[in-house]
Structure 1
């Protein structure tokens, strides 16, 4: 279970320029909801090694999270060529994450 979140976030302009499929995960290592979701996220991502998964520590005043209007953790933003195609907030099952991953292939 990976509960590590990057404390240095990429600038929004860089995220918007990402090519291909990406998942941007906002949370914190101490968040109970984030910790509980890790096995679900990891399980759903197992067959999606080609999808970039970036975990960013979020909090008040963090510009990237604010630019995506993140309110609850964890929030997973699914991006295709830098554009949001799906979002999952506090996933309760692997299927929720899998359904969002499927939208990256559409």
Structure 2
């Protein structure tokens, strides 16, 4: 399952991670975010080599601002501390896996 992280955990968990990290920017009130959540959790469970983190934009607005998140849900794929791809809105599992292969 994807782990919800906050501002104090973000740097060590995401920016300093040398592997692949998927960050799911969401809010608890967001309907599309609720639709995307099970897909993100499924990817987290099926891929031990990928770290999946969730950031609540209401509780961590500075992270959302730093990553220029304008709409949610937004998925950001980070490899070696650098953003390599992004999607906005609900996407299917296939699209997320394609993002991870870039």
TM tier, smaller = 0.7 to 0.9
RMSD: 2.6
**Farther-moved stretch of structure 1 (84-93 vs 58-67):** 58-67
1:37 matched residue in structure 2 = 36
Q: Which runs of 5+ in 2 are unaligned?
A: none
- Tell whether the 8 Å contact from 1:11 to 1:64 is kept in structure 2 after alignment: no
Higher helix share: 2
- Tell whether the 8 Å contact from 1:12 to 1:67 is kept in structure 2 after alignment: no
| 1:58 and 2:50 correspond | no
- Tell whether the 8 Å contact from 1:44 to 1:95 is kept in structure 2 after alignment: no
Q: Which runs of 5+ in 1 are unaligned?
A: none
* TM-score after normalising by structure 1: 0.77
CA–CA separation in structure 1 for the residues paired with 2:61 and 2:94: 29
Task: After TM superposition, list the pairs within 5 Å mapping 1:1-106 onto structure 2.
Answer: 5-6=4-5, 8-10=6-8, 13-14=11-12, 15-59=14-58, 62-103=61-102
Superposed displacement of residue 50, structure 1: 1.3
Q: Work out the number of aligned pairs and report it.
A: 101
CA–CA separation in structure 2 for the residues paired with 1:49 and 1:4: 13
Superposed displacement of residue 59, structure 1: 3.1
- Tell whether the 8 Å contact from 2:78 to 2:85 is kept in structure 1 after alignment: yes
